[in-house]
């Protein structure tokens, strides 16, 4: 089992939106970065833990706990000319981008980015590194446990 941090702009999809969705499950689509795509395609497994992170908002930080809830599948928005995520070079025969289902698991008090930076055990988190802007980053088991402990959650 692996752990991940996934960034979402709460104006687009907030953690509360995920919790309010049927089966607390939403399709994670619109990733247009190869490294992030490859994580979804090659490394994610159903049940992997997800730190759901809010970015580009007044209070960036980890907003909730989620899990990977499907295997990867073609991101339909790449075929839709009306979508901002349209990719003219993608075809249904040769899809370029993929999505995956994410299911909300537990609410937690926002662990703000500024607070995360104060914990030595989180200092090596990829998302905290200078210049890091990848929308999906790996989280170590120790970092995962530390976030849950800080958030006051038992293992999930």
Asked whether position 67 contacts DNA by CB under 7 A, the answer is no
For 34-66, b/e burial (b = at least 16 CB within 10 A) is eebbebbeeebeeebbbbbbbeeeeebbbbbbb
3 state DSSP class of 46: coil
Which residue from 94, 131, 152, 155 is in contact with DNA, where contact means CB under 7 A? 131
Backbone angles phi and psi of 91, in degrees to 5:
-130, 155
Asked whether position 96 contacts DNA by CB under 7 A, the answer is no
Asked whether position 107 contacts DNA by CB under 7 A, the answer is no
Asked whether position 103 contacts DNA by CB under 7 A, the answer is no
Smallest gap from Cβ 60 to DNA, in A, equals 4
Considering only 39-47, 70-78, 103-111, 127-135, which stretch makes contact with DNA by CB under 7 A?
127-135
Using CA atoms, how far apart are residues 48 and 56, in angstroms rounded to an integer?
Answer: 25
DSSP 59-105: S-EEEEEEEE-S--EE-GGGG-TTSTT--TT--SSS---EEEEEEEE
Tokens for 21? 């969705």
Asked whether position 86 contacts DNA by CB under 7 A, the answer is no
Asked whether position 118 contacts DNA by CB under 7 A, the answer is no
Q: List the x/- string, 28-57, binding to DNA by CB under 7 A.
A: ----xxxx-------------------xxx
Which residue from 111, 135, 139, 148 is in contact with DNA, where contact means CB under 7 A? 135
Q: Return residues touching DNA (CB under 7 A).
A: 7, 9, 32-35, 55-57, 60, 113-114, 130-135
């Amino acid at each position: 089992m692996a752990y991940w941090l996934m960034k979402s702009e709460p104006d687009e999809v907030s953690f509360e939106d995920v919790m309010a969705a049927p089966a607390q499950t939403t399709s994670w689509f619109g990733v247009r970065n190869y490294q992030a795509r490859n994580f979804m395609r090659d490394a994610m497994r159903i049940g992997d833990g997800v730190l759901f992170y809010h970015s580009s908002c007044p209070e960036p930080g980890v907003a909730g706990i989620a899990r990977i809830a499907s295997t990867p599948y073609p991101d339909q928005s790449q075929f839709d000319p009306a979508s901002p995520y349209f990719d003219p070079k993608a075809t249904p025969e040769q899809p370029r981008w993929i999505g995956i289902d994410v299911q909300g698991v537990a609410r937690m008090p926002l662990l703000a980015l500024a607070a995360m930076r104060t914990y030595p055990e989180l200092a090596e988190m990829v998302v905290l590194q200078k210049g890091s802007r990848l929308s999906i980053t790996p989280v170590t088991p120790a970092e995962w446990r530390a976030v849950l402990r800080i958030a006051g959650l038992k293992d999930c």
